[in-house]
Every structure is written in structure tokens, then in C-alpha cells.
Amino acid sequence: MSKRINLSQGKLEKWEEAFVPEKDVFFLRDQDLHLLKEFGMNCLLFSKEEFMKHPTYKAVSYGSSYTYWTLSQDISTVVVLPHRVFPSLNQSVRTAILKIQQQVGRGLVFEARYFEGILREPAKTLLAPYEFVSKDRVYIAIQKEVWNQLPKSLKSDLLNRIAFDYDTPGIFDPYVPTESVTSTYVNTYPNSHGANCLSSTLFAAASIQAGYTLDWIIKEWVHPTTFINGLTQLGYKEVPLSMDAIFPHDILVWKDEKNQIVHASFHIDKNYFFNKNGQVFFNPWKTVHMRELEEQWSAYKIHVYRK
């Protein structure tokens, strides 16, 4: 059977504050650059390369909300502006810009189905200028200025629906083990963006070895080199792959064709793993079965690390 993770009102309120970054960010391709003049003087224009290296905009809060990992490769220019500027643009210009955001894969653009049954006045009027059609589908974009004005009830309902999509039902067998250091986190969500599969895996391995929970690690945004350094420090080494002989506290790592780490998970026991599927706060910490991991990460090669 599947289990839905409950969201407290306190958790939702924290998410509401962090869901939409303070500044509006728009991504353009070369064929879209004729729209640059429409933004006026009150904006900054970045090359894609410079934007991605900028200490402010490469922060996890911006990257997670605007989902940088889903962006098209042909983006050339990034426009950043205060959130009060975009609503002042001509409506046809706003619609054209928002359509481009959907086409290039920017975050904070949702199919209208997310709002079905919960969109009432005054929110309906507030969101009307942010609604558009692309390839016969209706979308609604969320920008900071309109987010600030929406009723709290709508924000909570929308965040709940998004979380439901991220919390896909897994394979739940009668026996679902947990380690004492992970039990506090299983079937919960983080308060903020950043905690990812690497920090979750490293947290479990380090806490078990230390004999107490190293809670600060699980809240970090850990990158691959830091992760491997942590495994080495804990005495983990890669061993030959044998899926028939996975032991408790083994760590599975999935790598792409360039040998880059894309996912990691901590084996508790009996093919159950302590797992988090991404860095956004919609990704919960869960105990999942190996079958679920194999299905979700089948495009990548598995590596085993063991003490």
C-alpha cells in the first residue's frame, strides 16, 4: 500500500516564505532577445555563463525554485529584475515572456490542473494575467509580486498538491526497517531547499559510525566531491557490484556515462534504503525498497561502496 506524508501548517508556512525567490528571473534564447527592450532600464542582463557563476543566483534557493536542472541548453541570456517591475509590463509582453519560460523549462510554471477546485476570488483575478496557453495546455506562472498577494489558504493548497506529486507512492512491504539515527527523518519533509540525496546518505553513514545523530549534515547541500571525501573519511571504498550481496550500511551510488554522481542511497537492511530523491523541500526523506530505486534510476550505472 502507499502512504501519504502529512504536512503540518507550520511546515507549509516555512515553505510559503521560501517558495518564490525575492527577484524575478527570466531565461531567454537567442531568438527571444528582441524582448530585451521591453524590460526597460530597471533590470540586469547576464550571460548564461556569468549568471550560473554568480554567488547570489547560484544559491540553492534560486536554483531549486527556478529548477536550473530542467532548463534548455540553448538559453543565452538571463534577465533579473525586482519583483515589482514585471507586473508593470504590457500584458502581451508578459504573456510572451511567460510562454518562453515554460518552453525553456523554468520552474514556477504550473499546469492549470494544480489550481482546479481551489482557485477562487480574489486569487482568480490576481492570477489571470499570469495564465497562458502553450501547445494547447493552460499554464499559470508564479512570480513574487503575485505570490505576496495570494491568500494563505490558496498557497497552502497549492504547496500540498505539488508535494503530493513529488511524494510518489513507493513499494511498501510489511517490514520497513529504520535505523535509530534516521527514524526521526523518515516520512518527513525539510523546512528549506538544499538537503539532497548525498547529504542524506552521508548523514546516515556518519551518524551510525559516530554513535549519535549528526543532524546538521542532513540539512546541507552536499556536492559529489564533498560526498566522496566524506565516504573516504568514513572508511568506505568501492567494491565489485553484486546485487545479490548487498549488506546493511552499504551505500549505492548511481553515475552517468561521464562517471558523474547523480544519486546515492543508504542501505538499512533487507533491500530497504534511507533515501531522498532531490534537493527541493518537496522531496521527502523516506524508506524505500530497492525495486523503487531500480525503477527510478534505471538509466544510470550502480556502484557499491562499503566499509
- Interhelix angle 224-233/197-210, rounded to 10 degrees, is 20
Question: Mind listing the pLDDT tens digit for each residue in 81-134?
Answer: 999 999 999 999 999 999 999 999 999 999 999 999 999 999 999 999 999 999
Confidence of residue 227 (pLDDT cuts 50, 70, 90): very high
- Residues 6+ positions from 276 with CB-CB distance below 8 Å: 195, 196, 197, 200, 283, 284, 285, 286
Cβ-contact 151, 16 below 8 angstroms: no
Separation between Cα atoms, residue 202 and residue 234, nearest integer Å: 9
pLDDT at 306 over 70: yes
Q: What are 65's three cell numbers?
A: 525554485
Q: What are 300's three cell numbers?
A: 544510470
Separation between Cα atoms, residue 162 and residue 109, nearest integer Å: 12
pLDDT of residue 298: 93
Q: Residue 86 carries which side chain, given as an amino acid letter?
A: F
Q: Residue 250 carries which side chain, given as an amino acid letter?
A: D
Q: What are 141's three cell numbers?
A: 506562472
Confidence of residue 141 (pLDDT cuts 50, 70, 90): very high
Q: To the nearest 10°, report the CA torsion of 158, 161, 165, 169.
A: 160
Q: How many CB atoms lie within 10 A of CB 173?
A: 11
pLDDT of residue 70: 96
pLDDT at 1 over 50: no
Separation between Cα atoms, residue 307 and residue 158, nearest integer Å: 43
pLDDT at 177 over 80: no
